[in-house]
Amino acid sequence: MKRLIAAISCVFLFSCEKNIDFVPRDSEPKVVIDAFIENSRGPEVRLSRSLSYFTQLSPDLLASSFIHGAKVVMSNGTRTHTLKEYTRELAAGYKIFYYGIDSARLNNSFRGEFGKEYTLTVTIDGKEYTASTTIPLLKKRLDSLWWKPAPGDDPEKAVVMARLTDPPGYGNYIRYYVQVNNGPYYPPLASVFDDQIVDGKTYDVQLESGVNRANDIDLEEYGFFFRGETITVKFCNIDKSTFDFWRTMEYNYSSIGNPFSSPTKVLGNIKGGALGYFGGYAVQYSTIVIP
């Protein structure tokens, strides 16, 4: 009887199989807005057009994806400033194009301040895109850093610990970046956190090393630091929309190539049909030397 039931189950399962053939279609490129402002720094906005998932990337193709000649206006509520386009040289001949403070019109320019709201308006080919963000007050703080030997037999490896204090009341969101020696600041694979579990507490947590997602990641070495390195942590308070963007973006990074993962929509805050986000960062820096 058990064999009969098993045989019937197999027939039923196989009869439910169906081959699905489809040809993926390229969608029209969309405007992508990557904009941010930090306390004590001017705003920076990068504009590009999205690329097909199946596109073979190259330096020339990436350079051609940037949008030039847009009208980019930002306001802090009392001053309104039209940003100017600039070029920044990167390693290996790469260039990025961005919009920043117009040095020829400093009379109405501004830098980021704690607790202020900012609005962004981008006009491209007659179409307008808008967004707003807030630089929060620096409520959640990084109190101290220290290091200790990493688990295992390698005496050169180390882990970096941090003590954080979360103020009472939910809604304190953070993102952090890590610089090793004089290198660039990179976020770790999971860089944003809320305070649903740690509300109102002082707690210790291990910090992971930052990664350049354009490179292959060695998971055997990921998260560790090494003796002789100088580690600087860029610790940021962010608002809810900035948290939601990076939380969903990082989930998508982690699910690429995983057939069992669920699709997740990246939650941007740009109105008008563009992809991307406009984020405000309240920044605190802290440095430790691993001897």
pTM, 2 dp: 0.87
Q: What share of the chain is helix, strand, coil (3-state, %, to 5)?
A: 15, 40, 45
**3 state SS of 159:** strand
**3 state SS of 142:** strand
pLDDT single digits (tens) 60-118: 787 889 999 999 999 999 999 999 999 988 776 778 899 999 999 999 999 999 999 99
Specify the pLDDT at position 255. 72
Q: Which fold has domain 31-134?
A: Immunoglobulin-like (2.60.40)
pLDDT single digits (tens) 137-160: 999 999 999 999 999 889 999 999
The CATH number assigned to the domain with range 141-264+282-289 reads 2.60.40
Domain ranges of the chain: 31-134, 141-264+282-289
pLDDT single digits (tens) 277-290: 999 999 999 999 99
Structure tokens of 90? Answer: 């990167």
Beta-sheet pairing, 95-100 with 225-226? unpaired
User: What type of residue sits at position 277?
Assistant: Y
Fold match between domain 31-134 and domain 141-264+282-289: yes
